[in-house]
Amino acid sequence: MSVATLQHRLRQQRWWRSLKWNPRWSLWVMLVALVVVMLGTLVWLAGRYEGSLIQSRLERDTAEIVNDIRTGLTRNVQRLQALQSTERSADPWRAQVSDLLRQHRELIRVEWRDPDLELLQADDTSFRQAVFERMSRTSAMQDTAQACATALRLSGPAYSGSYFMPQKDGLGMELLDLCIPLLDEGRLTGYTVVTYSLQDILTELVSRQLSRGQGLSFTEADGTRLAIAGTPTRGKRIFSAHQLLDLPGTTLVVRMDSWRGTPDFFPNVLTALVTAMAIALIAVLLMLGRDMRRRLKAESDLAEALAFRKAMEDSLVTGLRARDLQGRITYVNPAFCEMVGVEAKELLDHNFPSPYWPPELAGAYQDRQAIRLASASLPRGGHESIFMRRDGTRFPVLIIEAPLINATGKHTGWMSAILDISEQRRVEEVSRTSQDRLQATARLAMVGEMASLLSHELNQPLAAISSYATGSLNLLGDASDTNMTLSADLRLALKRIGEQAERAGKVIKSVHDFVRRRDQVREPVAPRALLDAIMPLVSLQARKLSVRVVIEVDPACAVVLCDRTMVEQVLLNLARNGMQAMQAEPRKTHAHERVLTLRVKPAPASETNRWVEFSVTDQGVGISAEVAEKLFTPFFTTRAEGMGLGLSLCRTVIEQHGGYLGHDAAKPRGTIFRFTLPSGPMPDHPILPATPSQTTHYASEFST
């Protein structure tokens, strides 16, 4: 192979590659294809336009033909009804009917029948042989009888369905009967039955101008032709029109076929239009080819600049938002869309209120934006605001706005940079919470030290009180019994002093163990025994505050496993809080209206655990929603003299026992504090029952 041949083939390959991959060639091919498609579309539209004109003209002619047939049939009915006004005798009737048959070739036969449809007189047309010679008239009487029944019901003329009648020449014709009832002062005296030829109806009652050159026929609903007038046109694309001929008692379909088909050529006007458009397109193509190089270079530079700008904006974590002078959003970057959870297409061209504004702040934001946008300049310091994501969550943002100036130096809007500062606010909140927690921990540590110090310092005076009380009892035992009543009262008082001193020592020891997190000594205790232990102190305060205390213990309650001393303190604390809560109410006329109820009943049990529920119900002012949120928070109190540790320690004690302490609103007023304790195994030594009887519920009242 020579060198020239190789060079020629290389040039061909380069030309083919340039032809295949050059985008300019693909553009030219697309333009040429567009011209071809436009020309073909215009030709097709021209053909469709011509076809629609022909079809509309054919529909109009068919409607006129149906109108002519209906008018002719109505005129014949009027002529036939005129026969009833004359004397109904054979000879005059036959003479008038013969004249009618000569004038109207579409009429084949006219009959005069009695009310029972028995034939009285009949006359056939003279233009053809009698149609009922081969087959008797009785073969078609079924359709005639049905038409007469319809005519009698309508009190007017009625038509039968079309039927076929064979003839002697081996052919046949499609016939149609018309029945007109003869009435004399409302009494039926007979019928006039007229037989029509469907083919003669098409030839005699249709205008020659309308039927010239057209194929006219009566058809059934499935398209079967019953009668034809003219020669039907055959072809691939023949225009046809159908119209319904509604007659009393029957309906016929009139079909009209046009001899014209789809036009083969489009009009000259369209040819000139297509030629002019082709020339214009060629001129545009030449101008496009000359301008293509410059456009390609400019588009390439613009694409690189836009790609760099988009990459820079997409890499930002700061939200960018642009508004025009009317406040409509004209641009947002992906960081802003991700920040508010709304797509860019939903934000663009959106005016006030913005979809990321909280509904409760939308009015204030709109007023603020109106003021800011009305100003010629905005401060660059920025301001904080609250935005809302699509899911409804709010988050704080920092907005920095600046005027947006275009290339000509014209002020076209405002550019905003938005920073999500929710993480910063969260860190600040965590820091503040940590500081509050540290302060609370320090106060709790101080309380623990105070509790340890008090438990150490108070043990000795309490032991001395207990010793003095015991010694006094011994001295009273040795004394004479001169005053038995006084001695018994002193002995009871000293005994109570010793018991309360011993109980105070146990309380201090339990608090000391609680502060030092030592294991609590738990024992099975009857619920009634816990209430009886605190009743002396509760009754004293109740008598002082004019409160009636009611105790309700369900006998079905089992013993509870608990630290007796700490649980008694919980009950005592809740009872005192309830009585103090009722002091906020105005003093009633009757003191017994202030009732504090201590109730014990079995709690709903699971499959493995059984619980006993204790409740303390007061009739005070209740607890507001704001106070309920912080009720068990350490150092929170609503009383000036309170420390805010009582309810917090009570909840801690109950939770250490595995139970739960909570509160609910009482009806009609007041508060119910409930806590649960686990039931324990029965002890070896007997426990006094809650009641002396076997009743399921009782109440014990301490008088005021």
Instruction: Tell me: pLDDT of 497 over 90.
Output: no
Per-residue pLDDT of 112-148, as tens digits, reads: 888 888 888 888 888 888 888 777 787 778 888 888 9
Q: Tell which wins on pLDDT, 704 or 8.
A: 8
Instruction: Tell me: pLDDT of 673 over 90.
Output: yes
pLDDT attached to residue 686: 46
Are the CB atoms for 594 and 617 separated by under 8 Å? no
Instruction: Tell me: pLDDT of 2 over 60.
Output: no
| 197-215: average pLDDT | 81
pLDDT attached to residue 190: 87
Q: Who's near 451: CB < 8 A, 6+ residues apart?
A: 511, 512, 515
What average pLDDT is seen over the chain?
76
Instruction: Tell me: pLDDT of 378 over 60.
Output: no
Q: Tell which wins on pLDDT, 131 or 375.
A: 131
Whole-structure pTM value: 0.38
For residue 218, name the pLDDT band (cuts at 50, 70, 90). confident
**What percentage of the chain exceeds 90 in pLDDT?**
5
Q: Who's near 13: CB < 8 A, 6+ residues apart?
A: none
d(CA 566, CA 568): 5
Listing DSSP states for 211-267 in one string gives HTT-EEEEE-TTS-EEEEESPPP-SSSEEEEEEEEEETTEEEEEEEEEEEE--SS--
The β-bridge partners of 246 are 251
CB pairs under 8 A, 24+ apart, for 82-88? 83/192, 84/180, 84/182, 84/192, 88/112, 88/182, 88/189, 88/190
Which is nearest to 584 in space by CA: 545, 535, 529, 540?
Answer: 545
Instruction: Tell me: pLDDT of 279 over 50.
Output: yes
For residue 585, name the pLDDT band (cuts at 50, 70, 90). low
Instruction: Tell me: pLDDT of 12 over 70.
Output: no
d(CA 435, CA 464): 44
| 16-45: average pLDDT | 67
Instruction: Write down all domains in the chain, each with its CATH number in brackets.
Output: 55-261 (3.30.450.20), 316-420 (3.30.450.20), 430-518 (1.10.287.130), 521-702 (3.30.565.10)
Any idea what the Cα angle at residue 618 is, between residues 615 and 623, rounded to 5°?
100
Q: Tell which wins on pLDDT, 286 or 77.
A: 77
pLDDT attached to residue 360: 82
pLDDT attached to residue 698: 30
Q: Hey, is 174 helix, strand or coil?
A: strand
Alpha helices in 83-165 (DSSP H): 90-103, 141-154
pLDDT attached to residue 691: 36
What are the angstrom distances between the C-alpha of 182 and each of 131, 158, 170?
A: 25, 13, 37
* Helical (H) or strand (E) element with 332: strand 329-332
pLDDT attached to residue 696: 30
d(CA 257, CA 566): 110
Q: Tell which wins on pLDDT, 147 or 215.
A: 147
Listing DSSP states for 580-648 in one string gives HHHTTSPPPSSGGG-EEEEEEEEPPP-SS--EEEEEEE--SS---HHHHHTTTSTT--SSTT--S-HHH
Are the CB atoms for 110 and 100 separated by under 8 Å? yes
Q: Is the peptide bond before 602 cis (omega within 30 degrees of 0)?
A: no
Which range among 382-386, 527-531, 669-673 shows the weakest confidence by mean pLDDT? 382-386
Instruction: Tell me: pLDDT of 61 over 50.
Output: yes
Instruction: Tell me: pLDDT of 535 over 90.
Output: no
Q: Tell which wins on pLDDT, 410 or 236.
A: 410
List b or e across 318-357, with b for residues whose CB sees 16 or more CB atoms inside 10 angstroms. ebbbbbbeebebbbbbebbbebbebeeeebeebebebebb
Instruction: Tell me: pLDDT of 675 over 60.
Output: yes
- Single-letter amino acid code for the residue at 215: G
Per-residue pLDDT of 587-622, as tens digits, reads: 543 445 789 999 999 887 654 558 899 999 998 888
Q: Tell which wins on pLDDT, 35 or 97.
A: 97
Are the CB atoms for 370 and 339 separated by under 8 Å? no
Instruction: Tell me: pLDDT of 265 over 60.
Output: no
pLDDT attached to residue 615: 93
Which is nearest to 471 in space by CA: 447, 448, 490, 451?
Answer: 490
d(CA 317, CA 305): 21
Give 153: exposed, middle or buried? Use CB within 10 Å, 0-12, 13-18, 19+. Answer: exposed
Which range among 22-26, 314-318, 414-418, 670-674 shows the weakest confidence by mean pLDDT? 22-26
For residue 552, name the pLDDT band (cuts at 50, 70, 90). very high
Q: Hey, is 80 helix, strand or coil?
A: helix
Q: Who's near 214: CB < 8 A, 6+ residues apart?
A: 61, 230, 256, 257, 258, 259
Q: Who's near 502: CB < 8 A, 6+ residues apart?
A: 466
pLDDT attached to residue 672: 92
Q: Tell which wins on pLDDT, 381 or 153.
A: 153
d(CA 641, CA 621): 19
Per-residue pLDDT of 396-407, as tens digits, reads: 888 888 887 887
Strands 394-405 and 411-420: antiparallel
pLDDT attached to residue 612: 92
487, two tokens: 């001695």
For residue 23, name the pLDDT band (cuts at 50, 70, 90). low
Per-residue pLDDT of 170-203, as tens digits, reads: 678 888 889 999 888 778 888 899 999 888 888 8
| 652-676: average pLDDT | 88
Per-residue pLDDT of 300-330, as tens digits, reads: 888 888 888 777 777 777 888 888 887 788 8
Tokens 């000391």 belong to 512
d(CA 521, CA 653): 13
599, two tokens: 């109730």
**What percentage of the chain exceeds 70 in pLDDT?**
71
Q: Tell which wins on pLDDT, 462 or 573.
A: 573
Listing DSSP states for 401-428 in one string gives EEEEE-TTS-EEEEEEEEEE-HHHHHHH
Phi/psi of residue 246, nearest 5 degrees: -85, 120
d(CA 416, CA 67): 76
Cβ-based neighbour number of residue 194 at 10 Å = 26
What are the angstrom distances between the C-alpha of 171 and each of 134, 164, 634?
A: 11, 10, 116
